[in-house]
Amino acid sequence: MTLRAVPALTIALLLLPIGAGLLGTLLPAFGLLPAIGGQALSLEPWRSLFEAPGLGTAIRLSVSTGLAATLLSLALVLGFCAAAHDTRSFGRMQAALAPILATPHAALAIGFAFLIAPSGWILRLLSPWATGWDRPPDLVTVQDPLGIALVLGLCLKEVPYLLLMTLAALAQVRAAPALAVARTLGYGPVLAWLKVVAPQLWPQLRLPVYAVLAFSLSVVDVALVLGPSNPPTLAVMVVRWFADRDVALWFPAAAGALLQAGIVAGAIALVFGIERLARPIGRSWIFAGRRGGEGAWLARGASVLLALILAASLLAILALAVWSFSGIWRFPDALPQAWSLATWRAQGQALAAPIAATLGLASASTLLALVLVLLCLEAESRFALPPGRGATLILYLPLLLPQIAFLFGLQVVLVRLRLDGMAVAVVWAHLLFVLPYVYLSLADPWRALDPRMLRAAVALGAGPWRCFLAVKLPLLLRPMLAAAAVGFAVSVSLYLPTLFAGAGRIATLTTEAITLAAGSDRRVLGAYALVQAVLPLLVYGTAIALPAWHHRNRAGMSVR
Amino acid sequence: MIRRRHLLGGAAPLAATRARAQTPADPLLALPWAEIVNRARGQRMFFNAWAGDDRTNAFIAWAGEQARARHGITVTHVRLRDTAEAVARVIAEKSAGRDEGGSVDLVWINGPNFLAMKEQRLLFGPVLDRLPNAHFVDRAGKPSTVIDFTVPVEGLAVPWRMAQVVFIHDSARLPAPPRSMQAVLDWARANPGRLTHPNARNFMGVTFLKQALLELAPDAALLQSPVTEGAQRPALAALWDWYDALRPNLWRRGTQFPENGPAQRPLMMDGEIDLFISFNPSEAATAIANGQLPDTARSYVLERGTIGNTSFVAIPYNAANKLAAMVLADLLLSPEAQAHAQDPRVLGNFTVLDLAALAPADRARFEALPRPAATPSNTELGRPLLEPHPSWMTRITTEWERRYVR
């Protein structure tokens, strides 16, 4: 196969399962699934969908939690950047981000539930001396009917993600000179950032924000842990029906999956509309030229809020660790009565299989993604193929579509092909989500490669492949490993793709932790979630340490 | 509202399948046992079992190790959030035309899930009497080993443990627990927020409602037949009257429910509730030993008795590794595995075997087991009440969702 064909192949690898999956969901949503007796086009699936108890509440919950989580995260991130871009905490925040980004959201959600539950760690630390409670209060903090816990849990993960995306976008914008000019014109630092930098950032932030919105609206694993259950959000409801022994429920479930896709599309359109409306208003706000905007209170407030989010994430992980090593730990003791290795000893063997499956899937999908992305980039530069907007959209497609909208259809196709439950199917399903992230993390460093290096290599007689292997790859070792770490973390965190493509037979740490989260021993759950959190962290650590070691005697390659 | 169309709608389908084996002509059923064990060696099988309880998961892992050590079979526990997932998978495979090489080799099953598979002829067998250890099953003394939720099992599933509803109370906070569902209501009114039950979508949650139904229904005998419009109205009316009065007095005012049975344990451990329902008479003892319940937790049954049933394993008709599944089913039935499961330090589930039929050495395994203070004696447990027909269970869940999920 020629290099020229790789980009097309990659796009096919992404589009084929998504297209087949969407079709496989679309047909049953209109009554067509001959295998289980759906022979004729009908609107019956939609009728039963809209008659389902609690559907209205489920839709309202999905929309309100998804929008709230996205807007809250975005506001926090923009507020923080505006207020703190020239402070020391800005740099520190960057360093604190990576570990949280690497942590799967399921593990964070489980740890967060351990923190904020009425019998959770926070109240244990405050009781009874401050609260007077010797038994947990009858409060609804986790799985609350409004979905507040779900929104906060989503923010834990979305804020670091959006912050990282903003930082990446900032690197593309010449912010410092523009800010300096604005400051000399008398704008305070906050207002200057909002008026001069933010409008330049938005075009690059738009897709990440849409991805966050789509994810928050249709998330299943976090909603299972932190969201209400009676009724749950729409996505959880749909997944429940797909798992029912009465396969007739697949019809309304397929309709529900499409409705979910519609909700995401509608929400994206809404945000796009807001953006359109805001544009003239924002422009006249900027042109009006009002000065001011020292924003000291905003700087402090945004930093404190962000620090709170980071602290909650770290405490959540710590809570997992404490539970996994605890003996008996009753409310309101601040710490376990006794520490014990009993959980780890009892679960050690049971953990081995999901660890192996998680590692295998993540390594395979990441490696595959890395190879494909590198070859795509190489083809791009060798044949001067322009990376069009279309390609970017295709890359974002798996992140913008609700997973449930095409995973069910994909499962139907996989069952037909007898591929369900096979490792190759699950790796492929993971690839859909891993590849975009690997591409997005690698494309910019690739394009930033110093062309003089290549010219020197060519002048010395190196052919294109030798240039690729002996010059580009070693130069790109650091970003390659970083991209691999991102891909690995994404794969570890995937819940629905593993569940559907794996036909339940491939158990990863994420699927196990979510199964246990429904009501198992907190110590066991803590152990599973902790391993799930630690695995990507180890890979992140390696991704940082390995290039440093490899480049130890190359002064020009060391981290600045 | 979403209709459950085909499975449990009416009375008719049951008669159609009665006394008819599902795959009687399968040549595998004619093999001598030694040959079955021999050919099963080296097979990698998938045991689909509800995985919400880590103690049961540990027992399944133990059984898997035994199967590997004794028979060279690799057992993978496919961890289900709900048994229905495995049933749906087999149905999906059947509809995709995959009549062999299916992905579910053995499934832990009973009640509506068993009925659904039996009615749709999705089971391999009759298999029970092909297993050497089936001989010791106490069919006369424990009738639920052959009749599951009023549905004749006909050898299509292999019993592996007994279950009986008990209530677990924290004797430190609640020394004299209520002994009828009516008394439960009176107590909850006086002590709001101290009782909960699992979500009614979960089998344990709907069992709480069935236990009440058995006591409250004007004519409990009707519950032994499939739901009919005539039978359901007075029975369910009595149930919902009672429940409407109870619900506001439940934990979280009846707006939130634990997802399953084991999720109630941490609530008692943290002092959030004083009373909860369980399907395992030894649960209190086992959980105390494991640090999951306070030392003061005790089990008891209601004065008019509690529901009992049996857990089975069954082999789908299209399973890829039927022989290995048969060997594992037999292993679960072996006196050694049964005694291990009955050990209160492991699961504490009572055996399906007839102890009198066992060899003395095997009987001694059971007699050697401790009986902790938190576990009621057999006399205290009394004769278990029969499960209602599975259609009642399905109807109660559907109605509960319609009435209380807003």
A240: in domain: no
Task: Tell whether A424 is covered by a domain.
Answer: yes
Chain B residues whose beta carbon lies within 8 Å of the beta carbon of residue A35: 92, 95-97
A51 → closest Cβ in B2, B4, B269? B2
Q: Do B251 and A138 touch (CB under 8 A)?
A: yes
Does an H or E element contain B169, and which? strand B166-170
Q: Does A185 touch chain B (CB under 8 A)?
A: no
Task: Name residues whose C-beta falls within 8 Å of residue A140's C-beta, 6 or more positions apart in sequence.
Answer: A118, B252, B255, B256
Residues A114 and A218 in one domain: yes
- Asked if A519 and B263 come within 8 Å (Cβ–Cβ), the reply is yes
* B174 has a pLDDT exceeding 60: yes
Q: Which residues are CB-neighbours of B108 under 8 A, at least 6 positions away?
A: B47, B48, B49, B50, B83, B160, B311, B312, B313
- Structural tokens at position B7: 């499975």
- Which residues of chain B make contact with A57, given a CB cutoff of 8 A? 406
Residues B104 and B91: beta-carbon distance below 8 Å: no
Q: Is residue A302 part of a domain?
A: yes
CB contact under 8 A, B95 and A36: yes
Question: Going by DSSP bridges, is the β-strand pair B157-164/B308-314 parallel, antiparallel, or unpaired?
Answer: antiparallel
Q: Which residues of A touch B193 (CB under 8 A)?
A: 138
Asked if residue A210 and residue A120 are part of one domain, the reply reads yes
Residue A196 within any structural domain of the chain: yes
Nearest CA to CA, how far is A334 from chain B (Å)? 13
Residue B320 has pLDDT above 80, yes or no: yes
Question: Is B4's CB within 8 Å of A135's CB?
Answer: no
Q: Find tokens 């207020």 and name the residue.
A: A83
Q: Which residue has the tokens 């699936």?
A: A45
Candidate from A298-312, B45-59, B144-158 with smallest mean pLDDT = A298-312
Same domain membership, residue A482 and residue A402:
yes
Could you give the number of structural domains in chain A? 2
**Percent of chain B whose predicted confidence (pLDDT) is above 90:** 74
For residue B365, the model assigns a pLDDT of 94
* Mutate which: A127, A247, A524, vs B, most B CBs within 10 A: A247
List Cβ<8 Å contacts ≥24 apart for B179-184: B179/B300, B179/B302, B179/B303, B180/B215, B180/B302, B180/B303, B180/B304, B181/B211, B181/B212, B181/B215, B181/B216, B181/B242, B181/B302, B182/B215, B182/B216, B182/B242, B184/B246, B184/B275
The domain that holds A170 is classified in CATH as 1.10.3720.10
- A479 within a domain of the structure (yes/no): yes
Q: Are A403 and A459 contained in the same domain?
A: yes
Regarding whether A105 and A226 lie in a shared domain, the answer is: yes
Is A349 in contact with B61 (CB distance < 8 Å)?
A: yes
Burial class (CB in 10 A: 0-12, 13-18, 19+), A475: middle
Question: Residue A367, exposed/middle/buried by CB under 10 A (0-12, 13-18, 19+)?
Answer: middle
Q: Residue A149 — φ and ψ, nearest 5°?
A: -60, -40
Give me the domain span that covers residue A489. Answer: 1-41+349-560
Q: How confident is the model at residue B336 (pLDDT cuts 50, 70, 90)?
A: very high
pLDDT score recorded for residue B6: 40
Q: Do residue A370 and residue A511 come from a single domain?
A: yes
CB contact under 8 A, B290 and A521: yes
Residue A131 lies in a domain: yes
Q: What is the pLDDT of residue B53?
A: 83
Boundary (domain end) residue, out of A309, A340, A371: A340
Stretch 403-432 of chain A: residues touching chain B, C-beta under 8 Å = 412, 415-416, 418, 420-421
| Residue A106 resides in a domain | yes
Of the candidates B141, B107, B143, which has an alpha carbon nearest to the alpha carbon of residue B122?
B107
Asked whether residue A307 falls in the same domain as residue A420, the answer is no
Write down the pLDDT at residue A1. Answer: 58
Domains annotated for chain B, with CATH where assigned, are: 12-161+309-371 (3.40.190.10), 166-307+386-404 (3.40.190.10)
Nearest to A445 by CA among A401, A471, A475, A487: A475
Q: Are residues A362 and A503 in the same domain?
A: yes
Same domain, A122 and A206: yes
Q: What is the mean pLDDT of chain B?
A: 90
Residue B8 has pLDDT above 50, yes or no: no
Kindly report which listed range (A507-521, B261-275, B334-348) carries the lowest average pLDDT score: A507-521
Provide the residue count of chain A: 560
Please check whether residues A456 and A473 belong to one and the same domain.
Answer: yes
Q: Is A143 exposed, middle or buried (0-12, 13-18, 19+ CB in 10 A)?
A: buried
Confidence of residue B375 (pLDDT cuts 50, 70, 90): confident
**A330 and A307 belong to one structural domain:** yes
- pLDDT range class, residue B21, cuts 50, 70, 90: low
Q: How far is CA B49 from CA A44, A76, A504, B242, B313, in A?
A: 33, 44, 11, 34, 9
Q: What is the DSSP string of A386-455?
A: ---HHHHHHHHHHHHS-HHHHHHHHHHHHHHTT-TT-HHHHHHHHHHHHHHHHHHHHHHHHHTS-HHHHH
Question: Which pLDDT does position A518 carry in this prediction?
Answer: 80
Q: Is the pLDDT of residue B395 over 50?
A: yes
b/e map B97-134, b = 16+ CB within 10 Å: ebeeebbbbbbbbbbbbbbbbbbbebbbbbbbebbebb
Does any domain span residue A288?
A: no
Q: Are residues A205 and A119 in the same domain?
A: yes
Q: Across the interface, which of A54, A119, A420 has its CB nearest the CB of B405?
A: A54
Residue A112 Cα distances to A108, A121, A153, A490, B277, angstroms? 6, 10, 7, 20, 28
Interface subset of B 260-279, CB within 8 angstroms of A? 260-267, 269-272
Query: pLDDT tens string for chain A (560 positions)?
Result: 588 889 889 999 999 999 999 999 999 999 998 877 788 899 999 999 999 999 999 999 999 999 999 999 999 998 888 887 777 767 777 777 777 888 999 999 999 999 999 999 999 999 889 888 888 988 889 999 999 999 999 999 999 999 988 888 887 788 888 888 988 988 888 888 888 888 888 988 998 999 999 999 999 999 999 999 889 999 999 999 988 878 889 999 999 999 999 999 999 999 999 999 988 998 888 888 888 767 777 777 888 888 899 899 999 999 999 999 999 999 999 999 999 999 999 888 889 989 999 999 999 999 999 999 999 999 988 887 776 677 788 888 999 999 999 998 998 888 888 888 889 999 999 999 999 999 988 988 888 888 898 899 999 999 999 999 989 998 899 899 989 999 999 999 999 999 999 888 899 999 999 988 887 789 999 999 999 999 999 998 888 888 888 877 777 765 54
Average pLDDT over residues B29-38: 95
